[in-house]
A and B are shown apart, each in its own frame.
Chain A
Amino acid sequence: MAQVKLHGFWYSPFTLRVVLTLKLKGIPYENIEEDRFNKSPQLLEYNPVHKKTPVLVHDGKPLCESMIIVEYIDEKWPQYPLLPVDPYERAQARFWVKYADEMIPAVGALFSSSGVEERENSINKIWEHLKVVEQHCFGYEKNIFGGNTINIVDIAFGSAIKFLITIEDIIEVKILDAEKFPHLHSWFNNFKDAPVINENLPDHQKVVAFIKSLLQKSLQSS
């Protein structure tokens, strides 16, 4: 029996955070792919409150909420630490993780927006978020992202930006513009090419095609 199991969706930015964490730390686990239209009874039992993925099951005990799972994994398996040692730096990291979490629904809203005005509002909202990160998270005194190693902030934002570029392809609008957001753009290029990250990001074309099909499915049923 596997000690660690992960219930998730291969295409979800939230599941991705946990996958990257487990892989960076070299933790063996059993991957259980869930079907969002037919969730397993185990999942519903493990996450009765939200009925969502990802859920990590460690020695039979379930954990929910992607970044809470990431912090748990970091505490139980200290190799390749993802959180700073210093409490102040940890508070800073958590602040930016929270900010990344607030960005993902904004990207989701873009995905489900209908009409020109709604789409423009969604794009503006995302731009505001990206501007804040561009302005506050880079600079030589700042060590918010991991730098030479991946940290919890890289994971939180990396998954969010991966989701963003997927949606960019679907709606055919460039949002993470290299000219507007030079630091963020360059940071993401480094992130997606980094060892371990590179091998574990879902294939771009595959995830674009899948999310597109999800959108079509939801349009048909609405």
Chain B
Amino acid sequence: MAEVKLHGFWYSPFTLRVVWTLNLKDIPYENIEEDRFNKSPQLLQYNPVHKKTPVLVHDGKPICESMIIVEYIDEIWPQNSLLPADPYDRAQARFWVKYIDEMISTLSAIIRSKSSEDREKAKENLWERLGVVEDQCLKDENKFYGGDNINIVDIALGSFVKFIEVLEITFKVEILQTERFPHLHLWFNNFKDVQVIKENTPHQEKFVAFLKPLFEKILASS
């Protein structure tokens, strides 16, 4: 019986964060692919409050919420540490993780836009938030937020930037312009070049092929 199980959606940025974390730390786990339209009874039992993925199950005990899972994994398996050692730096990292997480509503707004005006507005909101990341979070121009090695902020941001790339292709909208976000661009080039990230990120085409009809389905039912 696998000690660690991950219930997730291969195409979700939230699940991706946990996949990356487990792989960065070389933790063997059983991957359980969930179907968002037919969630397993186990998932509903493990996450009765939100009924969402990802859920990590460690020795039969479930943990929910992607970044809470990442912090949990980092505490139990301290190799290749993802959180700064210093409490002040840790607080700063958590601040940026929270800021990045709050971007999800603007990503959703892009997906759910019913007109090009709505989509434009959602894009502008996202630009505003990415601008703060560009100017404040990545201002030190390090290789990664974590310095020479990726940390919790890189993982949170990386999953969303990857997802934004998919949205760009799916909705034919330019978001991550290099001229607008030079730090972000440099940072993301470094990030996606990390071996573990490269090996554990599904291909762009696979993402787009799957998500395009899914978004259309979500939009149709809203």
Residues of A whose CB lies within 8 Å of any CB of B are 48-49, 58, 61, 63-65, 68-69, 71-72, 75-76, 87-88, 90-92, 94-95, 98-99, 132, 136
In the complex, which residues of chain A have a beta carbon less than 8 angstroms from the beta carbon of B75?
Answer: 87, 90
Secondary structure of the B contact surface, majority rule: helix
Q: Is B171 part of the contact surface with A, judged by Cβ < 8 Å?
A: no
Q: Is B64 part of the contact surface with A, judged by Cβ < 8 Å?
A: yes
Q: In the bound complex, do residue B49 and residue A65 qualify as a contact, i.e. CB atoms below 8 Å apart?
A: no
Residues of B whose CB lies within 8 Å of any CB of A are 48-49, 58, 61, 63-65, 68-69, 71-72, 75-76, 87-88, 90-92, 94-95, 98-99, 132, 136
Q: In the bound complex, do residue A75 and residue B90 qualify as a contact, i.e. CB atoms below 8 Å apart?
A: yes
Q: In the bound complex, do residue A64 and residue B63 qualify as a contact, i.e. CB atoms below 8 Å apart?
A: no
Q: In the bound complex, do residue A48 and residue B136 qualify as a contact, i.e. CB atoms below 8 Å apart?
A: yes
Q: Nearest chain-B residue to A63 (Cβ)?
A: B91
Q: In the bound complex, do residue A72 and residue B88 qualify as a contact, i.e. CB atoms below 8 Å apart?
A: yes
Contact status of A49 and B88, CB under 8 A, knowing A91-B63, A91-B68, A91-B71: no
Q: In the bound complex, do residue A63 and residue B88 qualify as a contact, i.e. CB atoms below 8 Å apart?
A: yes
In the complex, which residues of chain B have a beta carbon less than 8 angstroms from the beta carbon of A90?
Answer: 72, 75
In the complex, which residues of chain A have a beta carbon less than 8 angstroms from the beta carbon of B64?
Answer: 95
Interchain CA distance A71-B75 in the complex, whole Å: 15
In the complex, which residues of chain A have a beta carbon less than 8 angstroms from the beta carbon of B88?
Answer: 58, 61, 63, 72
Closest 4 CB pairs of A and B: A75-B87, A87-B75, A91-B72, A72-B91
Interchain CA distance A64-B58 in the complex, whole Å: 32
